[in-house]
Amino acid sequence: MLDAVFGARDHLSILRPEATEGDPDLIVQILSPSTKRRDLRTKRALSERFGGREYRVVDPAARTATVPALIGERYEPLLLADGLIRSTVILGL
């Protein structure tokens, strides 16, 4: 299960109340101790494989966030300007 997802207007058809049928444009995964390994490895790999454009990982315990973006076929960290995390999917976020 994903914690939060965003589908751009042209991808809204993949979002369903019970599940997504494809990868959303933006995925936010909030880590918990019981699912951390699965979230960081399995879910990220699946999202990367199926083309999720951004996959944000928030670790409340460590008070960190990582923001990889899909570059080609692999997630690469986004460069932060002035310490701000900017989305490549949602302008102004």
Question: Could you tell me the domains of the chain?
Answer: 4-77 (3.90.1570.10)
pLDDT (tens digit per residue) in 42-75: 888 887 887 777 888 888 888 888 888 788 888 8
**pLDDT reported for residue 2:** 55
**pLDDT reported for residue 75:** 82
**pLDDT reported for residue 41:** 85
Rounded to two decimals, the pTM is 0.68
**pLDDT reported for residue 86:** 74
Q: What mean pLDDT comes out for the span 1-23? A: 62
Q: What mean pLDDT comes out for the span 36-45? A: 84
Which residues make Cβ contacts (< 8 Å) with residue 40, sequence separation at least 6? 31, 57
Check: CB of residue 67 under 8 Å from CB of residue 56. Answer: yes
Q: Measure the CA–CA gap between 67 and 5, rounded to whole angstroms.
A: 14
